[in-house]
Structure 1
Amino acid sequence: MNDKLLNCFTNPIKCKILLEINSQKATTAKHLSEIYTDIPQATLYRYLNKMLKDDILKIVEENPIRGTVEKVYALNFDFLKELKNPQGVSSGKMYMQLFMQYMLGLLSEFKEYTSKEGIDIENDGSGFSLYPVYLSKEELNEFALNFAALLEPYRKNRADASRDLHSIAFIVTPPKTNK
């Protein structure tokens, strides 16, 4: 996995963009701005242009619309292949770096939240938990697939007055052995 792609996976805004483009197969900046109302339009376009320049995205269509051209963006890599076999994450040191960047993103979200006055953890819908379980490799894979399937219908929700954006993180620790 190259550094530019790694940066996209660990940057919350770029990661949102990647996930939505992957789920849609191809989409426009207009679509992205409609579902991610929390991302300023200038920021969205800046990230899209940077991701194009870094060969993370490609333009698959250009549609003339009222005197301008609407670009349709798609991923310029195989998303599942990169996640399942991240080239470049071949050492413990690089894996640790990827995990630390992931955790720093979560810490940043929690820091921003806890810095606000008058937080209400229960009503705001924040929390974290840990469930130690014994699983075979097959059971772990089945669980991960079921977890992803459980979240998929909610990923399609769009921002509105009744919905706030939450990040749900999924971490599987390396196996512990009693040997």
Structure 2
Amino acid sequence: MTSLVDLLHHPLRWRIVQLLIGRPLTTRALAELLPDVATTTLYRQVGVLVKAGVLVVSDEQQVRGTVERTYTLNAAAGDADNEGVDHDRLRTMFTVFVAGIGGHLDQYLARDEIDPLADGISFRQTALNLSDEEFAEFVTAYGELLGRYAGKPDTDERRRRVLSTIVVPD
């Protein structure tokens, strides 16, 4: 059985998963967001992710005689994979994570015009001196804060932004 780390080490599968963070999408919508990817390749990689349990079908609709599926991320897909994480696997997981962030930045930089300040581009690092109990409280409060804003639908007034967080003990 392929591990989640190995599965997501494939760049296109990583891009697909990144696009599905916080929102359901059909394969057609994924194709519109990935115009550089051949349709057959996209369908094949979505199938790999579904078979591995990373993606789940959240809706099906009949569209002109065919079934259009909507996919969402399976939030529990990585839970069982955490027990066997060693130094090398953790480094690989981190590398894949950072590559995903780099991919988002590359997409932003591919625009004809950019305005990092107006667009809210930021890179920050803060050291927190917390006891284990305080850290647990922080994680809970941070999760509650994110919960207030995550999952809101895309509208003309809302712009999708991807927040990436890394916590490493010093």
Matched with 1:13 is 16
In 1, Cα distance between equivalents of 2:20 and 2:166 = 21
**TM-score (structure 1 length as normaliser):** 0.65
Instruction: Report the number of matched residues.
Output: 163
Deviations 1:88-110 (A, max 9, x none): 32x11211111111111112222
In 2, Cα distance between equivalents of 1:17 and 1:87 = 25
* Matched residue SS, 1:159: coil
1:29 aligns with 2:26: yes
Structure 1 alignment gaps of length 5 or more? 22-27
Taking a change above 3 Å as real, the CA distance of residues 101 and 76 of structure 1, as seen in their structure-2 partners, is closer
Q: Indicate if the aligned counterparts of 2:54 and 2:73 stay in contact, CA closer than 8 A.
A: yes
The 5-angstrom pairing of residues 135-150 of structure 1 reads: 135-150=130-145
- AA aligned to 2:76 is D
Q: Indicate if the aligned counterparts of 1:29 and 1:45 stay in contact, CA closer than 8 A.
A: no
Structure 2 alignment gaps of length 5 or more? none
Shift of 1:16: 4.3
The 5-angstrom pairing of residues 28-177 of structure 1 reads: 29=26, 33=29, 38=33, 42=39, 45-57=43-55, 67-69=65-67, 71=69, 78-79=76-77, 81-82=79-80, 86-89=82-85, 91-174=86-169, 176=170
In 2, Cα distance between equivalents of 1:125 and 1:163 = 13
**TM-score (structure 2 length as normaliser):** 0.67
- RMSD, matched Cα: 3.9
In 2, Cα distance between equivalents of 1:135 and 1:160 = 38
